[in-house]
Chains A and B, each alone.
Chain A
């Protein structure tokens, strides 16, 4: 699924340097508010959905080469978070849906979970 489709499915506003969101294709997603769990379980290249919006979400995304982040529940990220995301070319989607709804919508359209055993 590409980021353009994702944004329209989630009625999301996208903050990104990239004009063409359809170039970014992501097939696996992980949803969590615990960054240590993201670091322990999430595989590189996975979409991250979260209700937290502080700068450490972008840092976590950097560490794992996460290609895009979805902030749920209509949360407005800090300016610092947006700036760091832009500096790092990390597209951010802002949706009013809850975490559960956002996951459900993407799941229904074929988004896959991460595979259980991450190879490290």
Chain B
């Protein structure tokens, strides 16, 4: 692969009809590039949980995937309410999701921990009242 492949999607807040389409595109792009299915699954999980967080917590935002020879770098950015206590937010089971998000099957407080678990590199920055930025990198040759 010569030039990096960059995918960028605008994600609407609270839109459960379209949510997941961007992550599915990212996954299918990796598949088409011949990336192993276990890596595709990990990236799909990360992208989808991050996309859902943009939808249910961030008031919408931007999901990006930058694919190069050896890795994919995902970024999820929003200008939503931000996270006051990141350590708490990273704890399995912690969730501030609304009743509506729960009815849709989310809000188990498993998203961020699962994103981290599937990432080779992971970082999240947030400022209350400003927004949240999540970074995740997955390398193709590592298992």
- Which of A's residues lie within 8 Å of B, judged by CB? 33-40, 44, 50, 52, 54-57, 59-60, 62-65, 80, 119-120
Contacts and interface: CB of A to CB of B under 8 A. Distances in A.
B72 interface: no
Contacts of A52: 103-105
Contact of B108 (A34, A55, A56, A60): A34
Max chain B CB contacts within 10 Å: which of A37, A40, A119?
A40
Given A34-B105, A36-B106, A120-B38, A80 B114 contact: no
Interface string B87-108: 0000000000000000111111
A3 to B, nearest CB: 21
Contacts of B108: 34, 36-37
Interface in B3-58: 16-17, 19-21, 23-24, 27, 37-38, 41-42, 44-45, 48-49, 52
Contact of B37 (A50, A54, A65): A65
A62 B24 contact: yes
Interface residues of B, number: 30
B114 A36 contact: yes
A56 B105 contact: yes
A40 B20 contact: no
B68 interface: no
B16 A54 contact: yes
Nearest to B40: A65
Given A52-B103, A62-B27, 18 more contacts: A34-B110, A35-B106, A36-B110, A39-B49, A55-B17, A56-B52, A56-B105, A56-B106, A57-B105, A60-B20, A62-B44, A63-B27, A63-B44, A64-B44, A65-B37, A80-B17, A119-B38, A120-B42
A102 B19 CA distance: 29
A114 to B, nearest CB: 14
A35 B53 CA distance: 13
17 contacts: A34-B106, A35-B105, A36-B106, A39-B49, A39-B114, A40-B114, A50-B105, A52-B103, A54-B105, A59-B21, A62-B20, A63-B23, A63-B24, A65-B41, A80-B17, A120-B42, A120-B117
B16 to A, nearest CB: 6
A49 to B, nearest CB: 13
Contacts of B17: 55, 80
Given A36-B110, A36-B111, A39-B49, A63 B41 contact: yes
